[in-house]
Amino acid sequence: MDVRQHGRWSIGAELLMRRQQVPARGKPHPSSTGTDQSQERNADPVTDHDRPAFTDEGFRLARQYYERLILQYPHTPWTQHAANALALYPALFNIWIYEVQDRSKRARQGPAGDRPASPTGSERSADVSTASDTHSSTAAAKKQELNEALPIAQSMDELMLSPPYDTSLPLLQLRGMLGLWLADLYGSRAQSPPSSDDEGVHQRLDRGEAVRSRELARLERGKAREVGLKLRASGAELPAVIAHLLDNES
């Protein structure tokens, strides 16, 4: 079987991603559901907690699968009419981005997202402590998300230095979206509250980090704008957020 034909290569990645998939919390296993349970599930709106969760191992297997296909089917003049690295790279970067965002989302939700709100005044102090912990967890998750997103941008930038990847419309669209994502992450880091020590070296470090983060956010927005101009010049359809960026800065 030639996995390059009829989109079979994408089916392989989907199967690998669903390996060791974690069932939705509080939901029966699909094999044990009856007719009544199926009807109830179809009648209720599906929330994020209802959806089975992908695992880090599933993402890793899918990325390795794409990496092997890219090595096995490089882009050459003789492989232009079948799936090759030019088509596989956008899929690889898409799943990599999805992996980082999904892991960050799970980290931000955490066990705190399952606790009910405290209705009584006697528990308000506990609520304040919980809110502080939640904010710290969110900041830590955002920092980790940024650290994991940077290698994606580096890999894309290195790949797109040479043809035919430098003019690939899917890669250009993806790099523009990635730039705006990184700009948002840098912006969040710049707006993080300063260290609890309001004096001395910690305060100076916090201020310096905020300045660097704002500058890096500006650079990433600039890359997204540059990509948007290339896409517009080629006549390609612009993602809405990139079109909005160009319209606001024109």
Contact assessment for residue 171 and residue 159, using Cβ atoms and an 8 Å cutoff: yes
Contact assessment for residue 221 and residue 183, using Cβ atoms and an 8 Å cutoff: yes
Question: What does the pLDDT read at residue 96?
Answer: 96
Contact assessment for residue 190 and residue 214, using Cβ atoms and an 8 Å cutoff: yes
Q: Is 214 helix (H, G, I), strand (E, B) or coil?
A: helix
Cis amide linkage into residue 163, ω under 30° from 0: no
Contact assessment for residue 23 and residue 29, using Cβ atoms and an 8 Å cutoff: yes
Contact assessment for residue 80 and residue 40, using Cβ atoms and an 8 Å cutoff: no
Instruction: Give 111-160 pLDDT, tens digit per residue.
Output: 544 444 445 555 555 555 555 556 677 888 899 999 999 999 999 999 99
Q: What is the DSSP letter of 51?
A: S
Residue ranges of the chain whose pLDDT lies below 50: 26, 28-41, 43, 46, 112-118, 195, 197-198, 201
pTM to 2 decimal places: 0.76
Q: How far apart, in whole angstroms, are the C-alpha atoms of residue 65 and residue 82?
A: 17
Q: How far apart, in whole angstroms, are the C-alpha atoms of residue 51 and residue 78?
A: 42
Q: How far apart, in whole angstroms, are the C-alpha atoms of residue 165 and residue 36?
A: 51
In terms of Cβ atoms closer than 10 Å to its own Cβ (0-12, 13-18, 19+), residue 127 is: middle
Q: What is the DSSP letter of 239?
A: P
Average pLDDT, the chain: 78
